[in-house]
Chains A and B, each alone.
Chain A
Amino acid sequence: MARGTLLSELSAVPDDPAAVLEFVEAQGWGDGFPVIPPTEARVQAMLGATPLPPSHVVGVVEPRRGEATVEKIAVNAVLAGCKPAYLPAVLAAVEAVCEPRFNLYALNTTTCCAAPALMLNGPARQQLGIECGYSCLGQNGRANATIGRALRLVMRNVGGAIPGAVTKSVFGQPGRVSLCFGEWEERSPWPPFHVRRGFAPEESVVTAACATGTQDIADIWAETGEELIWVLAHSIDWIGNNKVLVKQDQGDMLLLLCPDFAHKIARDGIDVPQMQRMLLEWTRTPIERWHRAHWPKLEQRGYVEGNVVPLAARPEQFLIAVAGGESGHHALYFCTFGLTWSVSKRFSLEGASAGGESCDLPQPPRS
């Protein structure tokens, strides 16, 4: 059933996948990969997955400040290859990145390669077929690939994030095509990420965090949780980390543990808050690791405490979740570019994205 009159302009394109791709690329609407033609029938079918009217504005997408209506998001979701059932998750993802504290303007214009990393929690993972385990960050599953891609296309086509012209990311990264996965809650020794943020276990939640890339952390030697956290800490405290360029109390960063790592840490009685405190302490980097000429520059910015440069100011800036395959030996760090706070939004597959509600997040201390 049609969800209402669509406002998008219709274009006549030959019914041929190659011709459609040529057309989309010529318009500057694509990311280089093949697309599904967003015919009126497909967009209407997509819109059937939400009770929201097509004209409802989900968010204003920086830097162009384009209004992301449900219709425009649905068009991009079709382009990306989403099933209609995915739309509520895409709507919630758009809503999340449009929150001011996510700072999409900075993310879309920075010279860094920052991208939103979308993590799903709750029952929608099973209902949509979100991959949480092996190769969940890429190459495994339509839901992961297309929900992340739909958000990226909205950022491009509504927000104006055009590489080179507006987006000044020097390199970009594969995650700027799609980066979406689920937390493997069932293999985590701790409460799920969204529950630790104040949501109910039965709620479905999408969290947008910042990722300048997917940094693998390997270990085969740690026998205790403490040893392992030491490895993790000293794998994320490198001096070229973009997080070092901003004040320590800015931004949070997501660290994914494979189930084996999480259980090794939990087995030793270490819970998430304790792990966060250990990461905070062990990412205080001796200033000697920087070139001597950089010391006064770090000091001028107030980044130096004694003779160390902390990576963060508070334990809560280290976000911990469990995902990845059961073959073990790896964690994964999404380095932040520093000027972004992760945002979580609940959504329902029975109805609409939950109208702007989200949990409380730690706020930077007042200066």
Chain B
Amino acid sequence: MPAAVVVTAVFENLGRTAARAQGYPDLRMLVLPHPMEARPEPEVRDIARARFAELTRLVAEER
């Protein structure tokens, strides 16, 4: 089943290291800005709207 993960920027390296170690070197990954926690909810929603199409493309792309 196609899958993608979403991480914030400071966790990208960890995510790729873990994915490689688990045998998924080409894991589809969408990297969002960091930090997310302190942003106002409207801003988080704006980021989600702006990047959602990218996420669906990642999941749907042929590999």
Contacts and interface: CB of A to CB of B under 8 A. Distances in A.
A63 B18 contact: yes
A109 B14 contact: yes
A160 B17 contact: yes
B21 A168 contact: no
A109 B13 contact: no
Interface of A is mostly: loop
Contacts of A10: none
Interface of B is mostly: helix
Contacts of A168: 10-11, 14
A64 B14 contact: no
A63 B11 contact: no
A246 interface: no
A62 B10 CA distance: 19
Contacts of A65: 21-22
A293 interface: no
B20 to A, nearest CB: 8
A286 to B, nearest CB: 27
A160 B13 CA distance: 12
A339 to B, nearest CB: 16
17 contacts: A62-B21, A63-B14, A63-B18, A63-B21, A64-B21, A65-B21, A105-B18, A109-B18, A160-B17, A160-B21, A165-B13, A165-B17, A166-B13, A166-B14, A168-B10, A168-B11, A168-B14
Given A168-B11, A168-B14, 11 more contacts: A62-B21, A63-B14, A63-B17, A63-B18, A63-B21, A64-B17, A64-B21, A105-B18, A160-B21, A166-B13, A166-B17
